[in-house]
Structure 1
């Protein structure tokens, strides 16, 4: 599931620079790599561990944002003789560059994930690796973990395996370009097959009860002295591309469950009270949710181009995604009771973004070992107990959420005192049964969330209300109250 992406103009970045720097300080985001780490990265870039297998004949391609250089994944798609499809999916082999117990390894274990802010990122690995020697950049021969998935004609995966190999991407493509090429009929078959395979996989996902949230991109600009916030819906190719990653994460989880040691990304089913709350949110936003329609079916029916649907999708993402946890197990006899990820409706693990997420390097090693019928390296086994708790300390989600808070507050800075239509999306009654006069509202336009207080009227979850903006301050110390509304009464 992707993080909530956001882009800012240069003028907006300048206006928020102080608040964003304070956020980095509050999150203890590392500013620069220590000299020994940079030295180790330079050395590793020139002398990685190379595999025996050579798969550079595969004309792989990457799909990412035009400006991205930390390319974790590359793919090649083809039809199988007799029917069905074959997916080659190369994942950057970070372990080929990072020596266990060395300076690079220790620094990555501190950083845990790449942190994304509106005005830049704090990378997990030094750029000489993450945007250079270890990245699947075009026309660069690099070590990778090469997955091969065979699919039947209906998009069901029949076999999967992974091995180390040298690979060479032929092209760096971007989402908009791929979408245009596919829609116009000009895409070469390996690219055009992404639609065929992705669409089939989406149908398979729907059949098993999985949910994919295609979140709109948040866009911020600074015009005539004011911030402007808008949403840009993701393209169908985003979802098709995501299906290849999900396919690999599910295959990796199956390998681990079959072989013994492993680490899974699990998620409980959304609790009844959360679904009930979202029913009320949908009602308040004017979204019809018939009783016979399941949660998953409703999510798939919504249009991210519709402002109210986009608002609901973001609220649903919070309900679905924040409760995912990592669970590790040392052998086949100690598999956790909960192995499934509710939103995916299958066992799943993170393994496709090792340049940006620590746990993926370990998951990749476990899968390679399982595929070879060998025991995983000791450095992987020794880290398994600690990995789930270490990953919970990652600041990626906090950086995302708090960056959004800052930007949304900035968007409304010049509108304090204004009156807006909004929907009550949460009340404090859940935490404090007697408190029905504080909670959260989501504005209809722009779709911004903020705290709301009511003087003497109880808030009704999902109700449409009129509110006055009392505060919009990116520098306000309480992140939950950077935006504050008061309820207007009829």
Structure 2
């Protein structure tokens, strides 16, 4: 499920710092890396396994938030007749990490990088993730080089993945790239990113797929009060994401053909989920016409509009139930990711997500028509369990942080009244449910003396807002 990121425009206030520390203790979020892991990372940084193929001639660039140093992906696109050749370099973590070494053992405990407003808890030691393995500019790095042919309609037609040396020419950020594209000064490769990205977005809409442009939430202060604002993703963020999705789908098709791999899968959503989202849309004043699908509705949302941004954040529940499916010697009965409307695999973020090291190795072997390494085959059935647990922790961490911030925003308004809409009612106790406020993008538990009117506008009173517990509670008025 896509994660919401909460940021503070200024330094995180002490009251939130204490709560963040408590959340980490409760969820057992890892602290610093053990000394032996750090030492192993330092040694690995000096002794990577380097491939023979040299593709430092390709003018790769990375596009990430300005403060990112764990750069997994570098991009270069060329026109090829009436289509395109997409080169996508992915950091080669396996060039530094050996199966069973201290870095590998620790990474299996962590599963993925965790994010909070005051700190990042990385999957790998910074000596690798922000240093020797990161695709930093002007540095020759080992990478898994994906070469994907894309036709004039945006459909991928051919794929290859092999190890190669690459060199990024620049560490770019989204705002800067968007500005250059808008001004007409961007490089040809970045202009082609826009072309391919738009084509892929159209292909996504045609197949009924959903890729949520989740807005970041930023806490800002003024006149002694806090407020929550949404930062809408820039168009280039969506186009860049489409290249990652293109690669993940290509990887899934490779693994399905080779009858070995680890897919990211998601079952179809149920009616109760649609009902809740329709009620949330009603609370936010957004029309959801009868007969409009999830994909059509979501593609019609504008993340620059605050109510739409809040709706997109609520739509992350569509990805609830996503998991990982490993297979060998056949293919899964249900291989599809329902939100993508396609088979899909995670392969593009190995510095931040454990499974990508396994899927990358499988794809390299399949493209070279060589056996998948024994260490991959022997451990691949463990990876879905590890990743499912890591995902649970990441989402619990996200939910706890969002709830903490929301409680802080209304902590001084206990006893005040708010307008909202009942978005969910407890099946077993109809007097309990969830209310979404109409004036601020906040949900909370609500109770009434009689059955709650699902989907109906109501007036509620705030009776609890506990920052340390991250809880908000309302009572129905009248």
Q: TM-score, with normalisation over the residues of structure 1?
A: 0.95
Structure 2 partner of 1:399: 397
The answer as to 2:174 corresponding to 1:168 is no
Cα distance in 1 for residues equivalent to 2:304 and 2:439? 14
For 1:85-484, what aligned pairs fall within 5 Å after superposition? 85-318=84-317, 320-331=318-329, 333=330, 335-394=331-390, 395-429=393-427, 432=428, 435-454=429-448, 456-476=449-469, 479=470, 482-484=471-473
Deviates more, 1:99-108 or 1:435-444: 435-444
Alpha-carbon offset, residue 29 of structure 1: 1.0
Which ranges in structure 2 are unaligned for 5 or more consecutive residues? none
Cα distance in 2 for residues equivalent to 1:402 and 1:230? 18
Cα distance in 2 for residues equivalent to 1:2 and 1:62? 21
Cα distance in 1 for residues equivalent to 2:111 and 2:76? 29
Alpha-carbon offset, residue 180 of structure 1: 1.1
Q: Match of 1:12, SS?
A: coil
Alpha-carbon offset, residue 2 of structure 1: 4.2
Cα distance in 1 for residues equivalent to 2:186 and 2:309? 30
The answer to whether the Cα contact below 8 Å between 1:282 and 1:462 also exists between their aligned partners in 2 is no
Structure 2 partner of 1:485: 474
Structure 2 partner of 1:19: 19
Q: 1:116 to 1:198 in 2, by over 3 A?
A: same
Structure 2 partner of 1:7: 7
Deviates more, 1:9-18 or 1:267-276: 9-18
The answer to whether the Cα contact below 8 Å between 2:444 and 2:474 also exists between their aligned partners in 1 is yes
The answer to whether the Cα contact below 8 Å between 1:308 and 1:444 also exists between their aligned partners in 2 is no
Q: Match of 2:240, SS?
A: helix
Alpha-carbon offset, residue 290 of structure 1: 2.1
The answer as to 2:68 corresponding to 1:79 is no
Q: Match of 2:12, SS?
A: helix
Deviates more, 1:269-278 or 1:358-367: 269-278
Alpha-carbon offset, residue 440 of structure 1: 1.1
Cα distance in 1 for residues equivalent to 2:240 and 2:369? 30
Cα distance in 2 for residues equivalent to 1:29 and 1:280? 34
Cα distance in 2 for residues equivalent to 1:420 and 1:290? 26
The answer to whether the Cα contact below 8 Å between 2:95 and 2:142 also exists between their aligned partners in 1 is yes
Alpha-carbon offset, residue 446 of structure 1: 2.0
Alpha-carbon offset, residue 96 of structure 1: 0.5
Alpha-carbon offset, residue 383 of structure 1: 1.1
Cα distance in 2 for residues equivalent to 1:181 and 1:2? 28
The answer to whether the Cα contact below 8 Å between 2:74 and 2:168 also exists between their aligned partners in 1 is yes
Alpha-carbon offset, residue 166 of structure 1: 0.5
Cα distance in 1 for residues equivalent to 2:149 and 2:307? 39
Q: Match of 2:153, SS?
A: coil
Alpha-carbon offset, residue 115 of structure 1: 0.9
Cα distance in 2 for residues equivalent to 1:379 and 1:475? 44
Q: 1:239 to 1:6 in 2, by over 3 A?
A: same
The answer to whether the Cα contact below 8 Å between 1:150 and 1:158 also exists between their aligned partners in 2 is yes
Cα distance in 2 for residues equivalent to 1:47 and 1:14? 42
The answer to whether the Cα contact below 8 Å between 1:265 and 1:326 also exists between their aligned partners in 2 is yes
The answer to whether the Cα contact below 8 Å between 2:12 and 2:117 also exists between their aligned partners in 1 is no
Q: Deviations over 1:153-210 (max 9, x none)?
A: 1111110110000110001111111111111111111111111110000011111111
Cα distance in 2 for residues equivalent to 1:10 and 1:250? 39
Cα distance in 1 for residues equivalent to 2:277 and 2:442? 17
Cα distance in 2 for residues equivalent to 1:307 and 1:53? 48
Alpha-carbon offset, residue 226 of structure 1: 2.8
Q: Match of 1:392, SS?
A: helix
Q: Match of 1:471, SS?
A: strand
Cα distance in 2 for residues equivalent to 1:228 and 1:287? 22
Cα distance in 1 for residues equivalent to 2:16 and 2:319? 28
Alpha-carbon offset, residue 397 of structure 1: 1.6
Cα distance in 1 for residues equivalent to 2:409 and 2:277? 26
Cα distance in 1 for residues equivalent to 2:195 and 2:418? 44
Q: Match of 2:444, SS?
A: strand
The answer to whether the Cα contact below 8 Å between 1:13 and 1:119 also exists between their aligned partners in 2 is no
Alpha-carbon offset, residue 324 of structure 1: 0.5
Cα distance in 1 for residues equivalent to 2:13 and 2:89? 35
Q: TM-score, with normalisation over the residues of structure 2?
A: 0.97
Alpha-carbon offset, residue 464 of structure 1: 1.5
Q: Deviations over 1:369-396 (max 9, x none)?
A: 1111111111111111111111111121
Q: Match of 1:210, SS?
A: coil
Q: 1:2 to 1:181 in 2, by over 3 A?
A: farther
| Superposition RMSD in Å | 1.3
Deviates more, 1:144-153 or 1:420-429: 420-429
Q: Match of 1:354, SS?
A: coil
